[in-house]
Amino acid sequence: MFNKIVLLLLFIVIGIVFYFSWLSDPSFASETYIPKWILNWSNHYYNLRTAVPFLAVGFLLETYSQHKGLTEVNYNKNLNFIQNIVIAAIIVCIAEGGQFILKRRNPDLMDIIYGILGSLIGALSYNLFKKIRNAKQT
């Protein structure tokens, strides 16, 4: 059940990434539900805003794969970590590639780099939290 919830959250976050990546207005000015301070921050730190949802993508990918890996006999954490980063890179490339067909959007290589870095930090933070939790239990 836990894996299904994490997978659902992962799909929701990926859907949010695609939604915001494929909006026709890159300033998000037409999105009235977003607070003004977030709009100002996201327009000031244009590439950094790509990394924020990928923190969650990396964290959730690592959570899902490690909990799924508990049942596998030949589970390799390092290989799985690399696979998760590759999956996040594919997601960010699809999100940026979709901007080729939008009139006012342009794909940006820095967005891809920030997305990968965000997912890397998210995955590393999951592993850090897991080590801290395991250290407290012993």
Residues in the chain, total: 138
Q: In this structure, what DSSP letter does residue 57 have? A: H
Residue with tokens 């699809």: 94
Crossing angle of helices 48-69 and 2-21, rounded to 10°: 160
Q: What pTM, to 2 d.p., does this model score?
A: 0.86
The pLDDT value given to residue 78: 82
Which tens digit of pLDDT belongs to each residue from 100-124? 888 888 888 999 999 999 999 999 9
Directed axis angle between helix 109-137 and helix 48-69, to 10°?
A: 40
Least confident residue range of 31-40, 53-62, 68-77: 68-77
Classify the phi-psi angles of 76: left when phi > 0, otherwise alpha if psi is within -120 to 50, otherwise beta.
Answer: beta
Cβ neighbours for 85, distance < 8 A, ≥ 6 positions apart: 58, 116, 119, 120, 123
Give the residue among 84, 85, 88, 109 at the shortest CA–CA distance from 97.
109
